[in-house]
Structure formats: C-alpha cells, structure tokens
C-alpha cells in the first residue's frame, strides 16, 4: 500500500541520484602526482574497471552495486533494506578519501599518489548521499513520522 503511495517521491529520488551518477561518469574522479589524469581517474573507466583494484582503493567501487541495488529495492521492495544499502554505499564512497595511493596501470601495477579529487568523485558521492537522504525521507513518511510534511 505505502509502496504505491510514495512511488512519485521514490522516482524523483532515484532520478536525481541517477543523474548525478551519470554526470560523475563524464568527469575526472581524482588526480595523481603532478595533477596528471590517469586513465582510471576518468569516471566511466573508474566505474567499469574500479573492481580490478578491489583489495586496495578499489574497495570503494562496491558503492556502485550497492547504490544500484538500493534504487531497485527502494522502487519495488522494502525501504529499510534499501536504507541500509544506501548507507553502505555512501560509507564506501566516502572511504575513498582515506586512500592515499591508487593503481595507475593494471598491467604494471604502478601506483600513484592521489593529490586531489575531481568533480567526478564529488558527483558520485552526491549521488550516494541523495539516495541515502531520500531513503530516510521515504522511511520516515512510511512510518508515519511526519517530519517533512506541512
């Protein structure tokens, strides 16, 4: 019952989060020593290949499937589970700030020092953040904790 009632709100939340994620794929996510752009720093490449570095900074890549699964569950399933997944997604994406080095070339496993974060990273983090906040709003509304209504 409540799933249909808040469907327009859920669609807005997912749409905003999706647009931010899409925009992040068009930007550089980070810069390495000398403000150089490594191939992996481009958002789309990081999104597609970030899992290759899963045992180091690539662990943050797990935010991507968590974010997407959260969207699906928010739309069709349980809001509490979607909230948990969205929280994990934002924590994983935020954790990228704690890594100092990243693999520059998967072939030679050459590492570079991360010296700055690009627009792609901040858009990606914003996508996860909007999804988390949206999940909170939906859960509050579904649980009759009317904090956001007039």
pTM: 0.82
Considering only CA atoms, which of 11, 125, 139, 13 is closest in space to residue 84? Answer: 139
Average pLDDT by consecutive 10-residue portion of the chain (150 residues)? 74 95 90 64 72 68 92 87 94 90 67 84 95 92 61
- Residue 34 has what pLDDT? 62
**Tokens 């290759």 belong to which residue?**
52
Query: What pLDDT is attached to residue 60?
Result: 82
Predicted confidence at residue 1, as pLDDT, reads 44
């Amino acid at each position: 019952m409540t799933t249909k009632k808040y469907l327009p709100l859920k669609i807005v939340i997912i749409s905003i989060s999706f647009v931010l994620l899409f925009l992040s794929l068009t930007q550089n996510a980070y810069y390495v020593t000398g403000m150089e752009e490594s191939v992996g720093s481009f958002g789309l490449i990081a999104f597609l290949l970030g899992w290759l570095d899963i045992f180091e900074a690539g662990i943050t890549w797990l935010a991507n499937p968590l974010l997407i699964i959260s969207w699906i569950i928010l739309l069709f399933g349980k809001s509490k589970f979607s909230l948990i997944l969205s929280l994990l997604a934002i924590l994983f994406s935020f954790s990228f700030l704690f890594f100092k080095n990243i693999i520059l070339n998967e072939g030679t496993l050459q590492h570079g020092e991360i010296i700055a974060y690009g627009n792609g990273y901040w858009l990606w983090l914003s996508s996860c953040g909007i999804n988390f906040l949206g999940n909170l709003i939906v859960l509050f509304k579904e649980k009759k904790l009317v904090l956001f209504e007039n």
